Amino acid sequence: MNDAARILFENMHSDIASWSRHTASQVRRAVPTEGWSPEQHQALEAALREGMKSLAWSFFGTFDNVGCALPDGVLGYRITGIPSAEKDGDIQELAPVDIREDDTDYADMWQEFLASEKEQRHT
Q: Residue 10 is which amino acid?
A: E
Give the length of the chain. 123
Flag whether pLDDT at 46 surpasses 90: yes
pLDDT digits (tens, 9 = 90+) for 8-35: 999 999 999 999 999 999 999 998 888 8
Q: Residue 36 is which amino acid?
A: W
pLDDT digits (tens, 9 = 90+) for 73-109: 888 899 999 988 888 888 999 999 999 988 899 999 9
pLDDT digits (tens, 9 = 90+) for 56-75: 999 998 888 777 788 888 88
Packed helices 3-30 and 38-63: angle between N→C axes, nearest 10 degrees? 140
- The 3-state DSSP composition of the chain as helix, strand, coil percent (nearest 5) reads 55, 10, 35
| pLDDT the model gives residue 12 | 96
Whether 41 and 25 have beta carbons less than 8 Å apart is answered as: no
Write down the domain spans for the chain.
3-121
| pLDDT the model gives residue 103 | 85
